[in-house]
Structure 1
């Protein structure tokens, strides 16, 4: 990444109220961590639908910019490095939208939609991408009966210029966060503490109702929303929003290292215990009340959270999570009604 003017960067940091240890204008000093790999975090929100971009030059130096969209509420977000394009699920338009060549844009740039999907969905949430296929989880009740939870997964093909709806999968539970591990799709079971997997998910290429290949409970979680999987470390992370009525201080996240073996060891319908399997981060110091999405920077060992409730909404970063517990974030930037985060390294 290009090193930008330092003085303007620090002024911007102070203006947005981000928590840091220090700033330095010495190009040989990256804040004390010579092994830090520069990353960019993209975030969406349900307050105004704009896209927030956080360029981390080090663990203590960041430049933030906001890109203005015509969407008024958005959720799942994804960035493609090859085309320098960012995509998000528009909740106000019920469609996918993409914006090309964003890397060199300055803050407050107004975006025009370069790649538009059809308005097929009712309540889009997370986006998961596998090759040229974009999967969007839709949280709306399908059959109109709240006593029979269900949801839909919309599968779109992208040809580099437009989206085409390939097919729709109806699920037997409510949806929120989704993530791929190779061709298997993991999904949180909204309103519960459960995790489901659809093996070889994309082989389902026609409209159908499909049962999960496996569902298990995650001990210690009250209600899960966000999920991410890092294949380089075989780590899965799930968020816990706690009670829906409390958006300020009862949230958390669970880290499951060595996930594959641990998941395989739990039978369908059974529970993965906390002891020996998971690390939980929660408590008042975390500033989490409604953590709705998560991204993991495994190279720098930082977990990023889209927190929708506490203080009106925040993007939080945790680099001190190994032992779990009630820990303060090492990065904290206000973002009203934050809804999704995506990390590009």
Structure 2
């Protein structure tokens, strides 16, 4: 993600994006800027929606996928790449910036991978390395916890499967922090890390995490994102409930994580939690955080049939708070925020 050169929070422009926001004002004065600030969101119907945070324009892209979960935008070739659950592959669409805004756009698939995946859930990117977390049962025994990471290399002609790493826990959200890959341990409150992932795990193998810690206060984690020294983790609570979700904010994450021993716990005193009826959080399955805006953007799949939510000032304000942006998006599954 490219970084905004000024910490200007333009989400006040969200009043042009939606009419159902609980709070149309971000509490800050809008500043005119030519900077790009785009929030991309995928849906389980395969479409991609782009929200222009600066001017409120919304663009809907109809892709070749019938079900998408996981997205990454690359400014170098003006493309977004989605993880397609329907085609079991990566799909990339190039040169999207010049397309007309505010209308449905049918896109032609430009780059893809082979159909290797079974139940993909998230994507993490480090240079030309694209990692997909897949939570399909690996050993055929659904009483044992396992999952896989599919590692692809992006080329000018497509995505080449480099290798597959099987792990001894259920996977969902993943995030690169430099060369380390962080992964939530699905169905738990735990967070795992694989150090120097891209260069250490080069062949098909079974691997254990370099370190795993518990995060106190989380029931069942799904999404995570890191930026500017802060880690965000979502909590879906009871998967059958559409109103008991939340997210945790861990500032100074690196020092707190490093100070916690393998198998230890990051205490609730070292975090902040946002949850409660005002939040519209039920099953927040994916999240992105921008430290310059100090904002969290969430794909909420259950509450109201699906929403894209935004919360500002997350490093200083917790509790049962209302989102500053509350967009209906049926089957919302993943988000990615891009600025330049």
Common fold by TM > 0.5? yes
Equivalent of 1:182 in 171, 178, 182: 178
Task: Give the corresponding residue for 1:13.
Answer: 17
Structure 1 gaps, min length 5: 2-8, 24-29
**8 A Cα contact 1:12 1:64, kept in partner:** no
Matched, 1:344 2:300: no
| Alpha-carbon distance in 2 for matches of 1:22, 1:200 | 42
Matched, 1:313 2:313: no
Q: Aligned residue pairs: how many? A: 323
Secondary structure of the 1:109 match is strand
**8 A Cα contact 1:122 1:138, kept in partner:** yes
Residue pairs, 1:157-306, within 5 angstroms: 157-203=153-199, 204-230=201-227, 233-246=228-241, 248-275=242-269, 277-306=270-299
**8 A Cα contact 1:18 1:334, kept in partner:** no
* Cα distance, 1:21 vs structure 2: 2.8
* Cα distance, 1:202 vs structure 2: 1.1
Matched, 1:68 2:62: yes
| Alpha-carbon distance in 1 for matches of 2:31, 2:94 | 32
**8 A Cα contact 1:19 1:333, kept in partner:** no
* Cα distance, 1:161 vs structure 2: 2.6
| Alpha-carbon distance in 2 for matches of 1:209, 1:99 | 32
**8 A Cα contact 2:23 2:323, kept in partner:** no
Task: Give the corresponding residue for 1:40.
Answer: 38
Select between 116-125 and 103-112 the one with higher mean Cα deviation: 103-112
Higher relative contact order (CA 8 A, sep 6+): 2
| Alpha-carbon distance in 2 for matches of 1:91, 1:126 | 11
Instruction: Sort the Cα spacing of 1:156 and 1:10 in 2 relative to 1 into closer, same or farther, 3 A.
Output: closer
Instruction: Sort the Cα spacing of 1:273 and 1:115 in 2 relative to 1 into closer, same or farther, 3 A.
Output: same
Residue pairs, 1:46-195, within 5 angstroms: 46=44, 48-57=45-54, 61-106=55-100, 107-195=103-191
**8 A Cα contact 2:61 2:105, kept in partner:** yes
* Cα distance, 1:33 vs structure 2: 3.1
Structure 2 gaps, min length 5: 5-12
* Cα distance, 1:105 vs structure 2: 1.5
**8 A Cα contact 2:134 2:171, kept in partner:** yes
**8 A Cα contact 2:17 2:51, kept in partner:** no
* Cα distance, 1:160 vs structure 2: 2.5
Secondary structure of the 1:62 match is coil
4+ residue runs over 6 A deviation: 9-12
| Alpha-carbon distance in 2 for matches of 1:174, 1:162 | 28
Once the two structures are superposed, what CA deviation does each residue of 1:6-56 show, in whole Å capped at 9, x if it has no partner? xxx999735x74566379xxxxxx97233986511111111x110010111
C-alpha RMSD over aligned residues: 2.1
* Cα distance, 1:320 vs structure 2: 3.9
Once the two structures are superposed, what CA deviation does each residue of 1:212-248 show, in whole Å capped at 9, x if it has no partner? 0001110000000000011xx21110000001111x2
* Cα distance, 1:315 vs structure 2: 0.3
- TM-score after normalising by structure 1: 0.89
* Cα distance, 1:207 vs structure 2: 0.1
Instruction: Sort the Cα spacing of 1:11 and 1:213 in 2 relative to 1 into closer, same or farther, 3 A.
Output: closer
| Alpha-carbon distance in 1 for matches of 2:277, 2:256 | 29
| Alpha-carbon distance in 1 for matches of 2:249, 2:63 | 33
